[in-house]
């Protein structure tokens, strides 16, 4: 019995890239995110909770009130729409570039929720 082969279309590659990005974000939340935050933590005094300093407003916050932000936005460097999906191994090349950029510690900063929302809002207004 012969199996029918289906073409790996550009649209299917884009869908796989979106799935890859979703999975990477979930992975990031539970691995590099926590390590990065811990490295940026202030040393607590005896009997005090760990506090994190916002890179923008310089105030100290508990872990549940801070978020990790990419200094340079992802869409500006790695975009699904602008990627050449017709090339061979396009998804693998996209994934490598995305990983190199997404997990680059030099491109990460700790922001409080308020500052992160403001930054995201301003970026949305310029688009």
Q: Which of 107, 32, 101, 34 is nearest to 66 (CA)?
A: 34
pLDDT at residue 38, rounded to an integer: 61
Q: In which element (H, E) is residue 33 found?
A: helix 32-39
In tens digits, the chain (127 residues) has pLDDT values of 566 666 778 888 888 888 888 887 777 666 656 666 666 666 666 667 778 889 899 998 887 888 888 888 777 777 788 888 888 888 888 888 888 887 777 888 889 999 999 998 887 766 5
Half-sphere CA count of 88, side-chain side, radius 13 A: 0
pLDDT at residue 115, rounded to an integer: 93
The Cα diameter of the chain in Å comes to: 71
77 and 101 Cβ atoms separated by less than 8 Å: yes
């Amino acid at each position: 019995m012969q199996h029918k082969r289906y073409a790996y279309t550009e649209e299917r590659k884009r869908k796989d890239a979106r799935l890859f990005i979703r999975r990477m974000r979930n992975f990031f939340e539970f691995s590099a995110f926590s390590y990065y935050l811990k490295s940026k933590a202030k040393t607590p005094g005896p009997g005090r909770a760990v506090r994190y300093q916002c890179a923008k407003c310089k105030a100290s916050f508990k872990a549940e009130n801070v978020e990790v932000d990419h200094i340079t936005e992802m869409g500006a460097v790695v975009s699904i729409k602008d990627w050449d999906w017709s090339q061979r191994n396009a998804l693998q090349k996209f994934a490598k570039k995305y990983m190199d950029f997404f997990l680059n510690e030099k491109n990460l900063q700790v922001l409080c929720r308020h500052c992160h929302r403001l930054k995201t809002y301003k970026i949305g207004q310029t688009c």
